A and B are shown apart, each in its own frame.
Chain A
Amino acid sequence: MKKELSKKENFLKGIIKENPVLVLLLGLCPALGVTSTAINGMGMGLATMFVLLLSNLVVSLIKNLIAPKVRIPALIVIIASFVTVVDLTMAAYLPTLHAQLGLFIPLIVVNCLVLGRAEAFASKQNISASLIDGIGMGVGFTLALTVLGAIRELLGSLSIFGIKLIDADGMIVFILAPGAFIGLGLMIALMNFLQNRAKLKTA
């Protein structure tokens, strides 16, 4: 292990420096698939954060009980159980959002972000660090999805969080599939630009 992160650094790294979508490039499928509106992006982000938090918690609790050989299957079962919990809960209490996110809820299981954090972080760290990591990464993921959703909604239907700003048609291509790719590409480019500039300043 390199060095101990302070609690604050551990939390903040997930939001900017190691933002899962924009820097680590994990979880791109949901980032592209459900961000046609800001609300959908946020809903997906929160659902993933919930799974991430609980799986990080459980994995760090039982990390000493799992034999190293069956670690990955064990992690997958833990994650899949929480995903099922989220899936059924959302179907019962938020049926419209659940219908819009559709396939992407069960697919949280194969979101490389969740498995990646469980494997790379929670199975090596103590409970509180794992929880903070889960919250930080979850917030970073939710933020990236909400911003991408907001941009696409704004350009595509001239509304934000479902509130219509101008009564006209937007650039429909941003709601459709190509807009997702282009929007995310531009967001990652912006992130690179900001990081390069920060590096130049410190250098």
Chain B
Amino acid sequence: MEYFLIIFSAIFVNNIVLSRFLGICPFIGVSKNTSTAVGMGGAVLFVMTLATIITYLIYTLILVPFDITYLQTVSYILVIAFLVQVVEIILKKVSPDLYRALGVFLPLITTNCAILGVAILVIQNDYNLFESVLFAVGNAAGFALAIVLFSSMRETLDELDIPEVMKGVPVALIIAGILSMAFMGFA
């Protein structure tokens, strides 16, 4: 039950994009059509789960025993940047299909604050390793859900007659606001 709550609240109640405001850049940037949004969602799911496991292990096995937790930010961001590179190289060799699908999105993920955000939240919330994995998967699913919903709304937006100054990002942000209101119904 407790595990179910972690996942449910990560996807719906505290949706990472619509209520925690993490990962807004890709949310606005790569949501112009649904297929790229699905790709980005998949790439985030993959990297976020891996990054959370590895940073969790680094925190508990290295930073805490040596009493250097103040290096959290520096070490995490390096690990994430490194990880994204490694994932890219491995995917290229092992699964060219998946690489083609996720390829262009992987480098963008290094500066996706959702990844670093979740890695830090896991430590702040005192989760154990299993709970951390659930939390990461839930948040990534929440990100994917939000970006896919949002992209399908934006596709329809293109056909509407919108005032010149509202075109593009402004109207997208307002749509995101309405989407966020809908998600508040879960709280």
Contacts and interface: CB of A to CB of B under 8 A. Distances in A.
A115 B81 CA distance: 13
Top 3 A-B pairs, shortest CB-CB distance: A185-B173, A181-B177, A33-B21
Nearest to A115: B111
Given A29-B25, A110-B116, A189-B170, A196 B164 contact: yes
B169 A185 contact: yes
B117 interface: yes
A102 to B, nearest CB: 8
B184 A185 contact: no
A186 B23 contact: no
Given A103-B121, A109-B77, A29 B21 contact: yes
A111 to B, nearest CB: 8
A186 B111 CA distance: 26
A87 B133 CA distance: 26
Contacts of A160: none
Interface in B11-31: 18-25, 28
B46 to A, nearest CB: 18
Contact of B72 (A106, A107, A180): A106
Interface of B: 18-25, 28, 70-74, 77-78, 81, 110-113, 116-117, 120-121, 124, 164-166, 169-174, 176-178, 180-181, 184
Contacts of A29: 21-25, 113
Given A109-B77, A110-B111, A181-B173, 10 more contacts: A28-B28, A30-B21, A84-B73, A84-B74, A178-B181, A178-B184, A185-B171, A185-B174, A192-B165, A196-B164
14 contacts: A84-B73, A103-B20, A103-B121, A106-B73, A107-B117, A109-B73, A110-B110, A177-B177, A179-B177, A180-B21, A181-B177, A182-B173, A185-B170, A185-B174
B170 A186 contact: yes
Q: Which of B166, B174, B177 neighbours the largest number of chain A CB atoms within 10 Å of its CB?
A: B177
A196 B163 CA distance: 12
